[in-house]
Amino acid sequence: MTKSLRTRAGDRRWQVVGLLSLGMLIGQLNRSDLAVAMPVIAADFHWGETDQGLLLSSFYWTYSLFLVPAGLIADRFGARLLFFGGFVLWSLSSAACGLATSLGAFLIFRMLIGAGEAALTPAAMRYIRSNFAEERRGTAIGVYLMSTKIGPGIGFPLTAYLLAAFGWRTTFVVIGIGGLVCLLSLWAWLFSGSESVSIESKDPTSSTPTSSWRDLVPLLGRVELWGILIGTFCYFYFLGYCNTWMPAYLSREHGMSIKESGWYSGFAFGGMALVALFAGWAADALIRRGYDPLAVRKGFTIAGLAIAASQTLAIWYGSPRQMVFAAVFSLAGLGLTMPNYWAVTQTLMPAGNIGAVTAVQSAVGHLAAIAAPWITGRLVEQSGSFDAPVRAAGWWLLIGVASYLFLVRRPKVPKGTSS
């Protein structure tokens, strides 16, 4: 392959990562809008904290349920149409939330959003594993995952502005339809004509280019995968709490307005996105200098989880200003973990099964994202403050540190699969 052809191929790979990243960013807007609008919606419908927690977690019910099937489809048949169909489903469902007149209708629409968004991460991780070498993979994952935090970083203040200007019903419609318009423009640019880019390429280094349920069985017996899954659960518990309850925490505990809480929440997620991009690049740079990939990525992962746990300390010593700083600092620090815990999976697991394996990883994580909003709502309702849920999040993060520290390692004896 000539240098010019290699350059064009590299450019196309990054274009695909950019498309997947922008899709995830828009998807995150559709997730974060409810968290900001919830105080207003709950007042209109007279919902308590338990009902609010139930609705905030409903997205993750179907998201978790459809992740593994989406991963198997991405590995076997390719991801382009799966990505497109999922995008259309979640955008229309997000707009439909503006028409909801009951808790039941809201639950249905939020579950449809979850089903649609389940296509994204398995498709993205499969593509990155197949098209980027180990020493470049952290940066590619960092770019993709950066969008998962830029989305809330934009979504919280944007939703707060739309909510104050037009009301919550118009807000949902604008965000949902706006996503569809953006998708159609991107699709026409990237996938039309002779310069179209496929996101369905096979990994030539993999001896098992497609996966099935039977391929996952031996992988589930590997202790390192269980360590990854436990750590992912802990990571997502904290993230699920922040994604759904942070605006309410800032408003209720510190007297912020909806606009102020939206801006502070957006700033925290924006900081996490920047740290994640740096963490992916820095880990790749260390690997290119000869450091062990697994040790480097584990180190970044553990450091991010430990920094995030520092939020809990503010309960005992913090003034209100310090507690707000701790909330922002801990979430930004978690950005060290974000690209590297996914890259650990790509380092240890077989290439041909990576779509399905990362789908399992994401599904387990989102079980925590289901639990965190509901448990937080119950604890706040029972105790009258956010101290108990913040403590719970801190304990889960420490369990995640222990999981990556002691369980995630290279297997000493291969067990029938290549990695």
Quick one: how far is CA 236 from the chain centroid?
A: 8
Q: Is 290 exposed, middle or buried (0-12, 13-18, 19+ CB in 10 A)?
A: exposed
pLDDT, residue 311, reads 79
* Positions of the chain with pLDDT lower than 70, given as ranges: 1-11, 78-79, 185-217, 247, 251, 253-266, 314-321, 323, 351-352, 412-419
pLDDT, residue 213, reads 55
Phi, psi of 253, rounded to the nearest 5 degrees: -85, -25
Distance CA 117, CA 339 (A): 19
pLDDT, residue 418, reads 44
pLDDT, residue 78, reads 65
Q: Specify the CATH number for 9-190+212-406; select among 1.10.10.10, 1.20.1250.20, 2.30.42.10, 3.30.420.40.
A: 1.20.1250.20
Q: What are the boundaries of each domain within the chain?
A: 9-190+212-406
Residues 124, 74 contacting (CB under 8 angstroms): no
Residues 386, 242 contacting (CB under 8 angstroms): no
Q: What is the DSSP letter of 58?
A: H
